[in-house]
Amino acid sequence: MTGSFRAIAAFFLGLAIVAPAHAHPHVWVTMHTDLVYAPDGSITGIRHAWSFDDMFSTFATQGLDSKEKGKFTREELAPLAKVNVESLKEFDYFTYATADGKKTELTDPAPDYWLDYKDQVLTLNFTLPFKKPVKAKELKIEIYDPTIFVDFSFEKTNPAKLVGAPKCKLDVHLPREMTFAEGKKLSEIPADQKNTTMAWGAQFANKLVVTCP
C-alpha cells in the first residue's frame, strides 16, 4: 500500500465505496493526545493515538496477510504503519505547536510507532518529539488539516492529558461548528480534488492549551 492518506482516501471514494462521492472530508479520525513532560517541567513530546473511521480501516487492511482472519498483529501491520507515518510528514503530521506565542518545531516521530486493529478500527500510535524541550507559561497545540480533507475530533470522554506536569493546567478547545454555507461550499469540491480554494482548516482546529506557573 503506497501513497498518502489523501491518495488512499481519494482512491477509496473513487471506487464509490463511500457515500456521498463528492464531499469533504474523506477520512475521519478520533484522537487522544498525551503531552509528555520531563521532570524539569519542559515538554518533550506529543503522543497521539489516532483511530480511523471503520470504512477507511476496512479499506486500508484489505489484502493484508494475517494468521487469523479479521485480526492483525502489530507485526503484521508494521509495513502499513510505516507508510502512514512517512506519508504524514508531508503534512507536518497535522500538528502545530506554539510556546508563549512563538512557533515551536517538532521532529519526525520516534521509531516506536505502531498500528493497532480492534473492533475493525485501525489506531495509529506515535510520538512527535520537540526539536528541543520547551518550557513555557502557555503552550498551545493545534491539530487540524488545513484543507479539511481529514476530519479530526477528540475522544469525548478522554480527549487529552498531561504526563509529568502536575502543576500545569490543561484546557481542551473544540472547533467551532461549520456554517451551512461553508459546509455546502466544501461539499461541492469533487472527491478526487484537494480543497485548495478554501484553506481555512485552522478555523476548525482542535486545540490544547497548557498554562503553567
Average pLDDT over residues 39-51: 96
Q: What's the pLDDT score for residue 188?
A: 60
Would the pLDDT of 189 be above 70? Answer: no
The residues, any chain, with a CB within 8 Å of residue 127's CB and separated by 6 or more, are: 36, 45, 46, 47, 48, 109, 110, 112, 113
Q: What is the pLDDT of residue 191?
A: 54
117's CB contacts (< 8 A; 6+ apart) are 57, 61, 71, 72, 77, 123
Q: Which residue has the higher pLDDT, 192 or 175?
A: 175
Tell me the pLDDT tens digit for each residue of 4-41: 454 454 433 433 333 333 345 678 999 999 999 999 99
Domain count along the chain: 1
Q: How high is the pLDDT of residue 181?
A: 64
Whether the link from the prior residue into 25 is cis, omega within 30° of 0, is yes
Out of 16-20, 176-180, 183-187, least confident range: 16-20
pLDDT at 32: 98
Cα–Cα distance for residue pair 163/169, rounded to 1 Å = 11
- Domain span at 108: 5-211
Render 128-159 in DSSP notation, one character per residue: EEEEEEE--SEEEEEE--TTSSEEEEE-SS--
Residue range 187-200: average pLDDT?
A: 55
pLDDT given for residue 192 in this prediction: 53
For cell 491518495, name the residue.
Answer: 7
Whole-number Å distance between alpha carbons of 155 and 142: 15
pLDDT for the residue numbered 177: 65
The span from the CA of 187 to the CA of 178, in Å, is: 12
pLDDT at 19: 34
Q: What is the DSSP letter of 106?
A: B
Label residues 97-112 b or e (16+ Cβ within 10 Å = b).
bbbeeeebebeebeee
pLDDT at position 4, please? 46
pLDDT digits (tens, 9 = 90+) for 131-153: 999 999 999 999 998 877 788 99
In tens, the pLDDT along 81-126 reads 998 898 899 889 999 999 999 999 999 999 999 999 999 999 999 9
Q: Cα separation of 125 and 47, whole Å?
A: 7
